[in-house]
Structure 1
Amino acid sequence: MTNTALFYALGEFFCMAIMLILTGALKPITNYGKREKWLAASLVSETLYFLGDALDKLQMGGVLPASQAGLLFTGTYNANFPEQSNSSPLRKCPKPAKILYF
């Protein structure tokens, strides 16, 4: 599990580096309009997501010490919805529709 967590986090850090390079490439733009602001905000938010995901994977993989506050911080975006659990009544699939051939 440790090797998997390290490789996963390494990929996340690589993606973070690309996002930060793209954000830095926006600096020379002199006419900073609405599209550029949205692009910069989305790149920064994606970088923060990758950081939280990498830290969560490293804590869950046992590479970093997992404190209660750290797990709460990094796992906030990993919501477990009821339809994702195997015991949920929403998980039961309906019968497939009959195909009518004419």
Structure 2
Amino acid sequence: MRNNLVRNLLGKWRGKMAGKSANDFDKRLGERISQFRTEANISRGSVAKALGVTQAQLGKYELGINCLKANVLPILASLFGRSIEDFFDENPSGSASASKSVL
């Protein structure tokens, strides 16, 4: 009986979340991740492995479907040779050395 209750609650929650689209911030951040990964010539598989996620999950980050946890940004910045600020700037500097350091 308890399992049915949990299934019903999860089903209702998923139904409410299914129609929600990513917000603009998640989409812009995802675009930056994809851009920086491509510019650094690093495969999606390599980045996913460094983050401890699947390639499918990384794809969701890049599309802005799922949002990142803050602890992932320093890892991505290090991989791409960027500063954390580059993920948020409208005009990224091009490298971590051109702006503030990652840490």
TM-score bracket relative to the smaller structure: under 0.3
TM-score, normalising length: structure 2: 0.23
Higher relative contact order (CA 8 A, sep 6+): 1
TM-score, normalising length: structure 1: 0.23
Larger of the two Rg values belongs to structure = 1
